Amino acid sequence: MNVIFLGPPGAGKGTQAVRVCERLGIPQISTGDILRKAIKNQTPTGLAAKSYIDKGELVPDSVVIDIVKERLAQPDCANGYVLDGFPRTVFQAEALAEFATIDAVIDIEVSDEKLIDRLSGRRVCGTCGATSHVSVITGDTCDKCGGTWIQRDDDKAETVLSRLKVYHAQTAPLISFYTEKGLLRRIDGTQPVDVCLNEILSTLGVA
């Protein structure tokens, strides 16, 4: 099953994608994670992407389309995958349709007000990449691996506002794009994580 997770920054795409992929035994393909890894490793792609990500802007379509096309050609994608954070523009969606067949698009919906709170309180484990929130973190270190919790550079207040603006202008049009194709499934992302997960699995017919 080939699934897209759509939704604004902080809606819970990554949180749910990890769980759905674990359940279905398919890979999670997060363009954000791939780009952050490229920045860390100072690859040419990472160096090109950094200035866009730092400003909360989208990395050019051509760069991310090439990344995803190459990733989907890997053998572990043969039985399905979850695309987390791609496509993000109509141009990317049209390009994707040339090299992939999508079965469902999960749109996780959360208001801007809640998103700002979620993103400013989000912490990511610097070692294993697990995501959590200051409201539920109890110790100084990640409970999965003991790594240190860090704040993503683009979760700082001014960058968050710019990411939300970019989402509404460039990514939200994908809601009608995929509705017209009969693929869109809406999920209320303000519900508890497990409730969202069950709804997603049920709408995918794999509960």
Active-site residue list = 13, 88, 122, 152, 163
Note whether 16 and 83 are within 8 A (CB): no
* Residue nearest ligand AP5, Cβ-based: 32
What span, in angstroms and rounded, lies between the C-alpha atoms of 204 and 103?
Answer: 9
Residue 26 or 163 with smaller CB distance to ligand AP5: 163
Residue 125 or 163 with smaller CB distance to ligand AP5: 163
Measured from the CB of residue 98, what is the shortest distance to ligand AP5 in angstroms?
16
Measured from the CB of residue 176, what is the shortest distance to ligand AP5 in angstroms?
18
Residue 26 or 149 with smaller CB distance to ligand AP5: 149
Measured from the CB of residue 26, what is the shortest distance to ligand AP5 in angstroms?
17
What span, in angstroms and rounded, lies between the C-alpha atoms of 79 and 57?
Answer: 32
Measured from the CB of residue 85, what is the shortest distance to ligand AP5 in angstroms?
3
Side-chain half-sphere CA neighbours of 57 within 13 A:
9
What span, in angstroms and rounded, lies between the C-alpha atoms of 65 and 88?
Answer: 10
Q: Interface residues with ligand AP5 (CB under 6 A)?
A: 7, 9-15, 30-32, 35, 52-53, 56-59, 64, 85-88, 92, 118, 122, 131-133, 154, 163, 189, 192-193, 196
DSSP per-residue codes, 125-168: ETTT--EEETTT--SSB-TTT-PBEE--GGGSHHHHHHHHHHII
Residues 6+ apart with CB under 8 A from 138: none
* Residue found under tokens 């051509």: 62
Residue 26 or 106 with smaller CB distance to ligand AP5: 106
